[in-house]
């Protein structure tokens, strides 16, 4: 490694320059961060502040290098600073940063998305996954003329009011707000069911015939840790929605272009009605999209009556970065190598946890994975919540002290990039073996 790994004083070591930066940030930014996922609230302590990134590495302002397994929470499938992406951004920068008018590049990336994703015939670009989910829910309701949405407990679709809900006491329940500022009325038509429970979805359709606009889910959950669908589950949802006249709505903000070029729907052979995309589609810049068949998307303004707009939608720099990323994934497919590297990492983490005598399960789909600290299996949010989060917190800091940057929550997936090497993976496994033995002892 070219830079030093952090000095080992865990849990929650304090890096002096990052500490000063965090104090400064807290004076002007709520909690010192611009997204709660960066705050280290689930593991305690203060986050390192980053100075730069390159390839598979992050470098903090205290001069330490980390092997990065968050990849900006998913977008950096090619690694940081990929030359093709940087060149595309530089070329776009020379022509202007925003026009508020159409550009040909928007059509180019739209055509690339349509070519890659089986269910999409037209696509609308927006600036964030939250915006994509919000807009697509509106489309589902507007096209079907129905109000109710079925959502899976533990799945995250951005901070949309109608989707920021928590479950009640029943397995299938009307949602209640889980954030101040979200009114009961805004979630009144959101119905929560457990992930991987097809019967619960069937019960909702039976209770509300002809009233459900869409079944909304991450086809592979990544926001309660990595949780794959049970065999036959996605197929059952597809059949039920077709029978009832509801839409099947895949949130592929995480899985799109990651689990395959065509996302989870290509990997599992299921064609949803509506798809949300984000993260990778922007190549590391802010961009997202929602897409569907022509018949559905032609309801969106200005072609149709369902309103949605955005000043910076289709931003030239983001479109350039996203298009370069999609073309690189198409031209030099990394998916076989990502599969092999990710399997090597998952097997090594499983072996290390067994050797340390730690109850655990490692779950992986493609280049997304999670080491859960309970003996599994983890098939839904209730299972995930049984994990030993205190043990995870100790493990996280032990790994950070050994130069490995993992997601700072038990309930987030880790991402492997095309920039990672076998040596990086082997170093990570060795670090995990040491970290597990250290963290499994008395706190």
For helices 104-116 and 316-331, give the axis angle rounded to 10 degrees.
Answer: 40
Neighbours of 374 (CB within 10 A): 19
| Helical axes 83-95 vs 316-331, angle rounded to 10° | 150
The residues, ordered by sequence, that sit 6+ positions from 234 with a Cβ below 8 Å of its Cβ are 219, 268, 270
Query: What is the rounded distance in angstroms from the CA atom of residue 401 to the CA atom of residue 271?
Result: 43
Q: What is the DSSP letter of 7?
A: P
Question: What tokens does 296 get?
Answer: 């559905």
Which member of 59, 66, 156, 290 is catalytic?
A: 156
Of 251, 273, 383, 424, catalytic? 251
Nearest to 349 by CA among 422, 420, 435, 412: 435
Q: How far apart are CA 199 and CA 188, in angstroms?
A: 22
Residue 156: active-site member: yes
Residue 377: asked if its preceding bond is cis (omega within 30°), the reply is yes
Residues 153, 49: Cα–Cα separation, whole Å: 32
SS (H, E, C) 108-166: HHHHHHHHHCCCCCEEEEECCHHHHHHHHHHHHHHHHCCCEEEEECCCCCCCCHHHCEE
Q: How many angstroms separate the CA atoms of 324 and 317, rounded?
A: 11
SS3 content of the chain, % helix, strand, coil (to 5): 40, 20, 40
How far apart are alpha carbons 5 and 18 in whole angstroms? 15
Question: Which H helix or E strand runs over 176?
Answer: strand 176-177
Q: Answer for the pair 162, 149: CB distance below 8 angstroms, yes or no.
A: yes
Residue from 279, 290, 383, 405 carrying the catalytic annotation: 279
Region class of 251: left (phi > 0), else alpha (psi between -120 and 50), else beta:
beta
Which of the residues are catalytic?
156, 251, 279
């Amino acid at each position: 490694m070219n830079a030093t790994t952090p000095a080992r004083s865990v849990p929650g070591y304090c890096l002096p320059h990052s500490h000063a930066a965090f104090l400064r940030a807290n004076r002007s930014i709520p909690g010192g961060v611009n997204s709660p996922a960066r705050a280290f609230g689930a593991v305690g302590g203060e986050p390192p502040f980053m100075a730069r990134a390159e390839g598979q590495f992050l470098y903090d302002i205290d001069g330490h290098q980390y092997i990065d397994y968050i990849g900006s929470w998913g977008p950096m499938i090619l690694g940081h600073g990929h030359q093709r992406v940087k060149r595309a951004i530089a070329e776009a920068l020379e022509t202007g940063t925003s026009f508020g008018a159409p550009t040909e590049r928007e059509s180019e990336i739209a055509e690339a998305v349509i070519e890659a994703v089986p269910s999409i015939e037209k696509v609308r670009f927006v600036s964030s996954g939250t915006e994509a989910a919000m807009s697509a829910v509106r489309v589902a309701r507007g096209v079907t003329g129905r109000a109710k949405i079925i959502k899976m407990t533990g799945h995250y679709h951005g901070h949309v009011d109608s989707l920021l809900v928590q479950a009640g006491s029943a397995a299938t329940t009307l949602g209640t707000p889980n954030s101040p500022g979200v009114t009961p009325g805004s979630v009144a038509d959101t119905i929560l069911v457990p992930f991987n429970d097809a019967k619960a979805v069937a019960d909702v359709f039976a209770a509300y015939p002809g009233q459900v606009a869409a079944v909304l889910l991450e086809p592979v959950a990544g926001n309660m840790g990595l949780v794959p669908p049970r065999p036959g589950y996605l197929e059952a949802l597809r059949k039920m929605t077709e029978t009832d006249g509801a839409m099947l709505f895949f949130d592929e903000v995480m899985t799109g272009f990651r689990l395959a070029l065509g996302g989870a729907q290509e990997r599992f052979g299921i064609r949803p009605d509506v798809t949300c995309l984000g993260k990778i589609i922007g190549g590391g810049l802010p961009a997202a999209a929602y897409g569907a068949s022509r018949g559905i998307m032609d309801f969106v303004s200005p072609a149709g009556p369902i309103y949605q707009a955005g000043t910076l939608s289709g931003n030239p720099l983001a479109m350039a970065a996203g298009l370069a990323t999609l073309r690189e994934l198409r031209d030099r497919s990394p998916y076989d190598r990502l599969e092999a590297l990710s399997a090597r990492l998952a097997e090594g983490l499983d072996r290390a946890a067994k050797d340390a005598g730690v109850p655990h399960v490692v779950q992986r789909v493609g280049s997304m994975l999670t080491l859960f600290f309970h003996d599994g299996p983890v098939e839904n949010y209730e299972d995930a919540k049984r994990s030993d989060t205190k043990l995870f917190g100790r493990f996280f800091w032990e790994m950070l002290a050994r130069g490995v940057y993992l997601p700072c929550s038990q309930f987030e997936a880790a991402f492997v990039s095309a920039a990672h090497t076998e040596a990086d993976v082997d170093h990570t496994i060795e670090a995990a073996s040491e970290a597990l033995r250290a963290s499994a002892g008395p706190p």
